[in-house]
Amino acid sequence: MIYIAKSIAALFTLTLLAFAALQFNDPDPVIWVSFYCLCAATPLLALANKFISPLFWLTLALCVLELVLTAPGAYNYYLHMEQEPLMQSMNPDKPYIEEAREFLGALIAVVLVCLSALLARYTVNNNK
């Protein structure tokens, strides 16, 4: 079972690092690359049988902050979903499209970080 947990943690780490790599062409890459790399730290530490609680809570707080900041734009996109595809170039007249993408990215990140924390606790407790 420990190998499955570590495989999942490795998958989560690679997913979040891939998200970070995709942000290099973003208008504010430093923010987003840092955000996703910080999120990738929790599953990466789970691979090393470590769980650093302050890092987890900081990451979780940043994810929730991003969700709160982008939720209005995501809701606005939801209202225009029929007319606007999510995958289109950025448009200054439609900032809600970019905010919806950022919201989805933060939502995926918070889920992976929380699941990674559970995996980390499992691997730490079962490797003693």
Provide the residue-wise pLDDT of the chain in tens; the chain has 128 residues: 778 888 999 999 999 999 999 999 888 889 999 999 999 999 999 888 888 899 999 999 999 999 999 999 889 888 877 776 666 666 666 777 788 889 999 999 999 999 999 888 877 777 65
State residue 12's pLDDT score.
96
Residue 15 · residue 9 · CB < 8 Å: no
- Overall pTM surpassing 0.75 (yes/no): yes
C-alpha span between 104 and 108 (Å, rounded): 6
Tokens representing 125 are 């407790």
Query: Max CA-CA distance within the chain?
Result: 56
The confidence score (pLDDT) of residue 67 equals: 96
d(CA 91, CA 98): 8
Residue by residue, what is the 3-state secondary structure of the chain?
CHHHHHHHHHHHHHHHHHHHHHHHHCCCHHHHHHHHHHHHHHHHHHHCCCCCHHHHHHHHHHHHHHHHHHHHHHHHHHHCCCCCCCCCCCCCCCHHHHHHHHHHHHHHHHHHHHHHHHHHHHHHHHCC
